[in-house]
Amino acid sequence: GVASAVAMANLPQVSNIAGHRHNIAGSYGYYNGEHAFALGLSGLNETGNLVYKASGSLNTKGHVALGAGLGYQFDKLESRRKDMLTLQRNGN
């Protein structure tokens, strides 16, 4: 139970900083004498505003845990930076 949750929580998520859109990751969790291993897949759509993540884990008792999530990103920093530059140029 808890070891599986710890393992799944520690899976790295994709980052588009370097231009990558997909990530496969593995992690380990330990709690109160139990061990667990997790495997996950995360990614972004082409525009980078839709994020998905799916993961699964197996602990030393043979129990399997599964999870999935979906997120939407909005309000790009680039547009805010452009707005700030425009305000600075206009003397505001």
pLDDT tens string for the chain (92 positions)? 999 999 999 999 888 777 889 999 999 999 999 999 999 999 999 888 899 999 999 999 999 999 999 999 888 777 666 777 777 788 76
Tokens of 29: 């969790």
Decide: 50 and 42 in contact? Cβ < 8 Å. no
CB atoms within 10 A of CB 10: 14
Any idea where the domains of the chain sit in the sequence?
1-90
Q: What is the pTM of this model?
A: 0.73
Which CATH architecture group holds 1-90?
2-Layer Sandwich (3.30)
Cα separations in angstroms, 22 against 36, 67, 71, 82: 24, 17, 15, 28
